[in-house]
A and B are shown apart, each in its own frame.
Chain A
């Protein structure tokens, strides 16, 4: 699971039936210091709670499939699985 920041949302009317009722958002992967890393991607939101600017963690590829409501399977390859309240780490443990 990787950290990311929610930077936008996507409205899509025509989509796969299993994605109906599911929020889609644009997320920017970030590192432990909350600096952007890599390019943004689209993810579904299995917590149904996210707002823009929020720090979240997401799963990608095969792990994202069973993240629909009540464990329903969805044809997605990135899904937000939780919202981060705090990131707490010690710089001295970070290898150089």
Chain B
């Protein structure tokens, strides 16, 4: 699982049947210091996350099949949870929806 941030959404009409009636989000995976990791990816929403939310991103073959109970769903990234707060024992910066942004 990765820490990620929802940066937007994708509208798609023509799609594989496994994606029907599912919300597609554009998410950016993050390093634990809040810096972006790679380019933004497309993820299926499972927890009703919104734009700007810090989320838990599951990315493994078979994960979506288990969650949606569809055999062999061709879905890789799945938004599995919303992060309220991610704090560290050391001095690292906290991440999360309930953490006030720095001004």
Residues of A within 8 A of B (CB): 1-3, 29, 31-32, 37, 46-47, 49, 57, 59-67, 71, 73, 79, 81-90, 93-96
Q: Which partner residue on chain A sits nearest B9 by CB separation?
A: A88
Apart from A81-B16, A82-B16, A89-B7, 7 more pairs, CB < 8 Å = A1-B43, A47-B14, A63-B75, A82-B12, A93-B5, A94-B40, A95-B35
Interface size class of B (residues with CB under 8 A): 35 or more
The reply on B103 being an interface residue by CB < 8 A is no
- Whether the pair A57, B12 counts as a contact (CB closer than 8 A) is yes
Q: Which partner residue on chain B sits nearest A64 by CB separation?
A: B74
Q: Which partner residue on chain B sits nearest A93 by CB separation?
A: B7
Q: List 12 A-B contacts (CB under 8 A).
A: A1-B77, A65-B74, A66-B71, A81-B16, A81-B19, A82-B12, A85-B11, A87-B26, A88-B9, A93-B51, A94-B40, A95-B35
A93 to B9, CA, bound (A): 12
Q: Which partner residue on chain A sits nearest B30 by CB separation?
A: A95
- Whether the pair B72, A65 counts as a contact (CB closer than 8 A) is yes
- Whether the pair B14, A89 counts as a contact (CB closer than 8 A) is no
- Whether the pair A47, B6 counts as a contact (CB closer than 8 A) is no
- Whether the pair B61, A63 counts as a contact (CB closer than 8 A) is yes
- Whether the pair B10, A87 counts as a contact (CB closer than 8 A) is yes
Looking at A1, A29, A65, A85, the one whose CB has the most chain B CB atoms below 10 A away is: A1
- Whether the pair B72, A71 counts as a contact (CB closer than 8 A) is yes
- CB-CB under 8 A from B26, the residues of chain A are 32, 87-89
Looking at B18, B35, B71, the one whose CB has the most chain A CB atoms below 10 A away is: B18
- Whether the pair B77, A82 counts as a contact (CB closer than 8 A) is no
- Whether the pair A87, B8 counts as a contact (CB closer than 8 A) is yes
* Pairs of residues from A and B, 8 with the lowest C-beta to C-beta distance, nearest first: A89-B8, A82-B15, A66-B72, A62-B61, A81-B16, A1-B42, A32-B40, A31-B39
